[in-house]
Each structure stands twice: as C-alpha cells, then as structure tokens.
Structure 1
C-alpha cells in the first residue's frame, strides 16, 4: 500500500497555543479573523510514517462529488476495506447520501459548542458509521462569520487531537470543493496530506475549468517538491458528448469511470439511495471505480490554457467566436468626453 505523511509530516497545521480558549462568540470570531490572516505552511519534507491511502476528490460544486464518494466508499467497505469518508465542503453535505439524507453534526460546530460548555470533543460526537463506512463532516463557519478555508485547517487540527495519525484505515477519502482557491481548500495538495487527487467533472465547460485549476495546483506544487499527483478523472452525468474524455487525454490523466446520465441513477440519488451496492445494477461500475481509485498511480498533469480548454468545445457552445471590442472614454461617459486640466506636477529642468 502506498505510504503517506505521518504526524510529523502533516502536522503542519499549527497547534493551538496556551492562550485561554474563547468562551464567547465574539472571542471566537476574533480568533477566526486572526487565523484567517496567517499564511499557509510550506510543503512538507518530513519522513513518511504510516501506510494509508489518502485520496482527495475535487470538483465543481454540484457536479456529483458527494454522490460519487458515498457510493465509492460504500463499495470499498463492502469489499472488506476500512474506509473513512471526510467531508471538507462548508455545505457539509458529503455524508447526507450515505446516511439517507440525515446530516452529521460537524466537527467545527461540535467543537464550538463543547468549548463553550467546557467539554472535550469525543470521537463519537463527530464520527458515524454505516455498513462499514466511517464518516464525518468538517463543516465551516456561518456566512460572513469566518473563513471557510481556515475552518478546514482548524478542522484538521481537531482531527489530529482526536488521534487522526493513529487511526487504522485502508483508505481515507476527502471531499474538497474545487471552485474555491484559498489555502485551506488546497491543503491536501500543498502539504502532501494525500498521495493523489481524483477530479470529478462532466461534459461542461465550468466543471472542466475547475478540474483544470486543480491540475494546475498539482503541477505547481510538484515543481516545488511536492509529491501529490492526479490519479485520474471520474466523468459524472456522462451524456456521451466526449468533452471530459478529451480533457483528460489533453492533460495526460486517465478516465477512471464514466457514470452515465441515467434516470435510474438520478432518481435514486435524489431519494438518498446508494446505487453502488454489490449485486445491484450499477455494482460493476463502482467495483471498477474502487479498483481504479486504489491502483491508479499519481500522475503529473499538463494543465491547459484557457484557449486550449475552450477548444475542446464547439465554438457555438462556448462563444469562442466572440471578439473583444475595447471600450473608449466616450463609451464610458455615454457621450462626449470633456478634456480636463492635468493635475500632474512638472518640474523644470528635470
């Protein structure tokens, strides 16, 4: 099994100081603002210490990461693997499909409540099980009351306190939002917290734009000495148009699975049903995805330029034939532009 960084490598998350814990919402908000101003730590170069495959899944919001992960984790568990699924999306909806629509108490919310009560967070407060899958949600701050990326960093700090580096799982699957580019969401890539990334996309420009951004991040940090690579792409809601497959080929990553845009999948997913069950109609698809996710090696992608990305689509689909027409001062003033005296100071003899 592939190795990953242990406690000395991924503790790159700064430990909390001896300063008294905040007891009020105002104190907690003040601490979040201070934390949000901190720069991320450099890429880890510490020795590896344990053997667990940690895989980060990225994709555009709404593209089907949670659907893919719920079914993938369920199938892996049914194959006898010990699997931990961690939702790292502030929406906290990664585990909702797994638990039939029910939401888990998030780590950040639970930690805040316990701190105000002077209590310690226990693993049973934040981690829950279904048919062999262990799952939890990091959560995030309420709108306008903190930084989502810094919340993720704080969430992993709490996981370390709960013994994250001593847990014995075969696979840890991390669900990350790919639309957001601030430091916390790039944590697995920037700090070598996982061995590989899987991107989820579809045959649409916006999801492939996000996938290309993730490939750019991986390429950037590998050039800085990082080790995380892209294992491949899952094409969700595949309608056969082919743009996602063309993207994967262009950046140099394999397609691990293509999940069709099928009404049975859509209906069952909307009803919070797991479709990746052994013996089910879609079992072979997720059995193959489980094998590919486990065995696909980390690749160095070659991210595309914006023009190359647009080139994967027909011009009428993305407006590639549109010409940029520069605006003039007259346009901006909706009429005639009045010449005004310059305020520039001119020094004679200079």
Structure 2
C-alpha cells in the first residue's frame, strides 16, 4: 500500500490537486482512498460532487462508540473512498486534535485495509500538533508539497520541509518532491526548480494555470471527469504516473528565511 500526504499553504490548490490525483490513480485501476485532514471538510468535494456532511469528528461526537465504517467512509468518483476528518466549530477546540481522533477511529474500525493507495490531504501552513500526525505516526511515508512561486507559499513549503526533516530523522518518512501549482508569477518554474534543488528534492510537476480547473470546480467535478480529453487532465495523469514510479525520495534541507527571500528576489518576484 502506497501512503502519500499532500501538504501546502492554505488556498494553494492542494485539495484540487489531491482530488485530480486520486481520480488519475483510480483511472489506472488502483483502489484509492482520499482522507481530508482539514476542518473545512472540503477535500473530497470534487470527488463526491458535494461537501461531505458526515465527517469522522461529527460522527464520533454524535454516536461515540457506535460509529460504523458506513458512517464515515463515502464512495466518490470512480469508486474512490472518501473520508473527511472534520473539525470543531470555528473558535472552539483544536482542529489538529480532530485529525488525531479521526485517524485513530479509522484505524480502530479497520476500514482501510485493501486499498492500493491512500492520499492524505493535509492543511499545512505549519507542520505542528495534530497536523503532523500523518507523518509523525507513520500514516503517510511519501510527502509532496504543493507550492506556487509566491514568497509566502514558498515560506510555508520551507516550513513544511523542516517538519518533514525532523520526522525523517526518526523514521521512514521522506519528501518526494514539490508540486508546482502555477500562479503565473515571474520566472515561476525556474524559481520552483531552484527551490526544490536547494531543498535536496525535485520539482516533480509544474501544473499550468488553466481556466478549465475553475470550470470543473464550479461543476463540482475533477478535471478528469469534467474535461477528460483536456491537456490539463493529462498533466494530472502524468503526475500520478511520476509519483507511482518516483524513487527520488529524500530528507529535505530547508533554507533560512533570509536565504529564501534572497532566492525569490533573484528570480524577479
């Protein structure tokens, strides 16, 4: 079983990337489960065609020990299993704690046993507390960071790399690469390639900005479902193949903030 986690700054397009990747993996005949680890519980929206209304945390609160697999595991596009960890009401409780409770409940119910691939979609401006659970507890071993060429997106990616390095020194977790999600900033691809190099990893994909992504999202679908013949759909398919064959997994070497600022300035941002 391949266990992948996608991290990245909020709003960078991580959930869109995750859902399109899950769709691409499923097209290859793989049994896929996507687990959304964000209190907004919108990770699986494009796969389900709607916001998941039954999160693990909701079910645990409502039914406690009577929670069953059917309460929290939902079937989405092309048979993909979809799970949302959920979170507390805004301003109440710790969202990271929701991830801990959710993953512990999934483990105790043994609902994910025969999947070929599990993809965790994790909120990751900083890797701390409950948000580190997928890598700290070994739920995920291959980490990919979604980033654009914008300074604060790279700042978040660098912080995530620091967390990956910390846990890599204790176990088998490794960084698989940077997934560039374009915002059409100056020299963006070259900057991301150099950033990945400095982190001792690779730019495994550069996803161009395309209006078809927005159209698909407005129709509550992945690009692969909405426009299967589009060039953008093929970008996601190629990324899924590259992830499955990726052997360039590494312990990252994060930069200082001064080094990061200097790098971004060199590329005209």
TM-score, normalization: structure 2? Answer: 0.90
Paired position in structure 2 for 1:244: 192
Paired position in structure 1 for 2:66: 120
Paired position in structure 1 for 2:261: 310
Does the 8 A contact of 2:148 with 2:188 survive in 1? no
Matched, 1:293 2:243: yes
Does the 8 A contact of 1:238 with 1:258 survive in 2? no
Moved over 6 A (4+): 315-318
Does the 8 A contact of 1:72 with 1:276 survive in 2? no
* CA distance in structure 2 between the aligned counterparts of 1:222 and 1:174, rounded to whole angstroms: 17
Stretches of structure 1 that go unaligned for 5 or more consecutive residues are: 1-51, 319-350
Q: Once superposed, what is the RMSD of the aligned Cα atoms?
A: 2.0
* CA distance in structure 1 between the aligned counterparts of 2:23 and 2:12, rounded to whole angstroms: 19
Stretches of structure 2 that go unaligned for 5 or more consecutive residues are: none
Paired position in structure 2 for 1:190: 136
Paired position in structure 2 for 1:92: 41
Matches within 5 A, 1:199-348: 199-223=145-169, 225-239=170-184, 241-242=188-189, 243-277=191-225, 278-297=228-247, 298-314=249-265
Q: Which has the larger radius of gyration?
A: 1
* CA distance in structure 2 between the aligned counterparts of 1:279 and 1:260, rounded to whole angstroms: 16
Please state which structure has a larger fraction of its residues in helix.
Answer: 2
Residue 229 of structure 1: how far off its partner (Å):
0.5
Does the 8 A contact of 1:61 with 1:177 survive in 2? yes
* Residues 320-344 of structure 1: per-residue CA shift (max 9 Å, x gap): xxxxxxxxxxxxxxxxxxxxxxxxx
* Residues 115-157 of structure 1: per-residue CA shift (max 9 Å, x gap): 3xxx611111111112121111000111232111122111111
Does the 8 A contact of 2:34 with 2:83 survive in 1? yes
Moved more, 175-184 or 71-80: 175-184
* Residues 25-55 of structure 1: per-residue CA shift (max 9 Å, x gap): xxxxxxxxxxxxxxxxxxxxxxxxxxx1110
Matched, 1:68 2:14: no
